[in-house]
Structure 1
């Protein structure tokens, strides 16, 4: 459900999740990117169709196949289907993306979209290649790119290159699926092994994130509490991480106070077990911290627009490298004859990009592309320990006895109160505790 809402660019302002006794009720308060109420019927119908198709096993999960397309002001973001998909993961090195895109240009491979993340010295990238007659075989492309990636790694360092049709790569059909796959690649690339975590009791924390895991004995769940700075797509990142680690969310309360987001999950493993072992709790906590922090943008954001052509990504990434800039995160997509790229960059030492460097870069690519500085440089946020510790938000869950009582009354043949009414009554009691969260 969160993936479907993410695909249509909705902002989840608050959420409450409840599922037990064979019933579920998930409530999402959503707006568009400008904070406006959703009034476009095509978007609402798409969400209904996508979620219902997913539940009935007829597809869904964000894929637009067989679904009514969004034609209003807010449209589904680009879906990349029928294209070869290139996945790359390994250690982050200066110029890595530039060398990879140059290798693809040498093979006459046109990149129609690409997303790249870096975190904790690791990097992962997914590229979609246009299917043209000039493109060589997939095996040749993989061999060439593998040689480029291997040259950027020292002996013994882990790296991987994979290429194939979208059907052969899990969840590669759309934007949110691509981001979910990037989470999987980064996790497999061991960017969640934190050496700088602080641990106090059952809480593991960094300067910006806290995760505490407890056992809820009376309910038979593991309770996962996450506190961090609020940001867009936070709910998507945490839910995907728990799901990919094969934990089922039975209850959850999602809220925020000021700039601090609070998420509380009641989970079990798919086999019904809770997080009993110390190693499992540490693994889940570190994976959630990594999922939250790897999407946080550091550096100067540059928006580059140009006419789509073969080798464009190679030219832009080379210009960034030659001006002493390192790419921390990137997203490139094409719309007809136009290519649009967002790049978060720092200098090679991770420091602020000077105004002189930006001017030199602008002058170099002027005439072939348009560059805009979208935000000021943002260093890593200061410690949130004080802010997080002062947050005191009461999170309440629906009493499961309501569902048990309903079932008993039905079996005894007595008149049954509306289940939806009982759940909504519980929701009404906690709604006043919720604040906005930019998920």
Structure 2
């Protein structure tokens, strides 16, 4: 009966969505310094996250936003720019946003089974095999993982690794190093061998191997889920007194039946994605919210405010639960902030070859560098295999978290050989002395008026919330009938 009811609800949701397709308006005239994206659609759990994900994946910066989803309808307004603080004028980008958000199947709920895994997971996708890893972080771990994969005949096509609170999570896409068309996940003995080697490396007694069909969960969302499941929001020993990267307050709003969540922290790219992703995957629904920022990234300050309930409509009832939400949001913000605040970003470009990633990470380890975060990509004309170009970004420090000395970077540059090493972001360099683009903080140094962009450092009074939702007054809402 439960399965039938669930299926019936899915069919009803599809029917309602088909009768009321999403409406997207992209306006470059409504604001002097940002492109305005307005979205209204049938509301479902995860709708806001899906919209934010599309914007974040295009590397657009959300300067401010307002959203509301009480009842069955979802409305939101985003003020966005590119990384240089300019409006989004590229017609291909505008068309992509419009068509993606208006598609009937643009949001895919994840498979429930995707959350039920432990330390090592291996899954099949259409063009590669996905390997997921979680465990205790230590210096040189990525180098050891790459060496194992190279020895097992796996070529890394893309990967992302995060570290936080002495924990590590990684999602790695691999193909057979000799035959890109070979399905690694279909070879049970090979999967067992890879799983055994990686589990031993991670020093964990348990592992899980499972095949899954696309669409797979968005990689960065999956990393948040893996870190959360690994309880990285619990401070490691010795870090209990460390100052959090964000100030988060969670308070009851009893007269309206909501719980108010207010976040104040340093602004950075994808901040809204990280917080909305965490709230959504903790099974809370955001009914109203507003976000804004003052100053240019990465030196600006961001304010976020959400009014949330459980997905079943109930508010948070205990102080312990509210404290847990605050800790989890702080952890979500810190996972990516480590790459912007305390480490040097090194970009390595080279023609792809077998064992390249293993060699590069070994050189980093031999020079005493600790990889705090990594983004690995390989592009080839055929899209699979071939002699493509590897573009890898590593966020590094010494084991104690101190900056990397210039002489160490030069030594690595000499050892890497044919690869090109560029300092992409160095927060420790004096202004004007840094090499690279400053980590995408934005080349345009225009400052915006704080009075226009920031709602305040504390929560809005609920009765005044909708005065900030003036763009919604122009929406023609469609009344839904059951």
Q: TM-score, normalised by structure 2?
A: 0.69
Structure 2 distance, partners of 1:161, 1:345, is 30
Do 2:128 and 2:183's aligned partners in 1 also have CA atoms closer than 8 Å?
no
- Matched with 2:460 is 395
Tell me: CA distance 1:123–1:141, structure 2 relative to 1, closer, same or farther (3 Å).
farther
How far does residue 320 in structure 1 lie from its aligned partner after superposition? Answer: 0.9
Tell me: CA distance 1:150–1:270, structure 2 relative to 1, closer, same or farther (3 Å).
same
Structure 1 distance, partners of 2:473, 2:139, is 53
Q: Displaced runs of 4+ in structure 1, greater than 3 A?
A: 21-24, 59-63, 133-154, 157-166, 195-198, 391-402, 419-425
Tell me: CA distance 1:21–1:348, structure 2 relative to 1, closer, same or farther (3 Å).
closer
- Per-residue CA shift, 1:191-247, capped at 9, x if unaligned? 11136567xxxxxx9342111111112211010111111111100000000000111
Question: Does residue 1:89 correspond to 2:154, yes or no?
Answer: no
Do 2:247 and 2:265's aligned partners in 1 also have CA atoms closer than 8 Å?
yes
- Matched with 2:345 is 301
Match of 2:411 among 341, 355, 360: 360
Match of 2:329 among 260, 267, 288: 288
Structure 2 distance, partners of 1:421, 1:349, is 48
Matches for 1:17-416 after TM superposition, within 5 Å: 17-53=67-103, 56=104, 58-60=105-107, 82-130=127-175, 132-133=180-181, 136=184, 137-153=186-202, 160=207, 162=209, 164-165=211-212, 167=214, 170-171=216-217, 177-194=218-235, 206-258=243-295, 259-296=300-337, 297=339, 298-336=342-380, 337-367=388-418, 369-378=419-428, 392=457, 395=460
Do 1:15 and 1:27's aligned partners in 2 also have CA atoms closer than 8 Å?
yes
How far does residue 25 in structure 1 lie from its aligned partner after superposition? Answer: 2.1
How far does residue 322 in structure 1 lie from its aligned partner after superposition? Answer: 1.4
Do 1:82 and 1:165's aligned partners in 2 also have CA atoms closer than 8 Å?
no
3-state SS of paired residue (1:272) = coil
Structure 2 distance, partners of 1:106, 1:282, is 45
How far does residue 142 in structure 1 lie from its aligned partner after superposition? Answer: 4.0
Calculate the aligned-residue CA RMSD, in Å. 3.0
Structure 2 distance, partners of 1:97, 1:184, is 20
3-state SS of paired residue (1:146) = helix
Do 2:67 and 2:289's aligned partners in 1 also have CA atoms closer than 8 Å?
yes
Structure 1 distance, partners of 2:325, 2:150, is 40
Deviates more, 1:94-103 or 1:220-229: 94-103
Structure 1 distance, partners of 2:212, 2:352, is 23
How far does residue 139 in structure 1 lie from its aligned partner after superposition? Answer: 3.6
Structure 2 distance, partners of 1:193, 1:226, is 19
How far does residue 148 in structure 1 lie from its aligned partner after superposition? Answer: 3.7
Structure 1 distance, partners of 2:417, 2:305, is 49
Structure 2 distance, partners of 1:120, 1:160, is 21
Tell me: CA distance 1:147–1:38, structure 2 relative to 1, closer, same or farther (3 Å).
same
Count of aligned positions: 364
- Matched with 2:52 is 2
Q: TM-score, normalised by structure 1?
A: 0.75
Gaps of 5+ in 2: 1-50, 111-124, 381-387, 430-455, 476-482
Determine which structure has greater relative contact order: mean sequence separation of CA pairs < 8 Å that are 6+ residues apart, divided by chain length: 1
Structure 1 distance, partners of 2:59, 2:126, is 19
Structure 2 distance, partners of 1:350, 1:421, is 45
Do 2:262 and 2:459's aligned partners in 1 also have CA atoms closer than 8 Å?
no
3-state SS of paired residue (1:20) = coil
Do 2:285 and 2:308's aligned partners in 1 also have CA atoms closer than 8 Å?
yes
How far does residue 273 in structure 1 lie from its aligned partner after superposition? Answer: 1.0
How far does residue 257 in structure 1 lie from its aligned partner after superposition? Answer: 3.2
Structure 2 distance, partners of 1:160, 1:107, is 18
Structure 1 distance, partners of 2:410, 2:471, is 61
Do 1:170 and 1:181's aligned partners in 2 also have CA atoms closer than 8 Å?
no
Structure 1 distance, partners of 2:62, 2:167, is 29
Structure 1 distance, partners of 2:171, 2:74, is 35
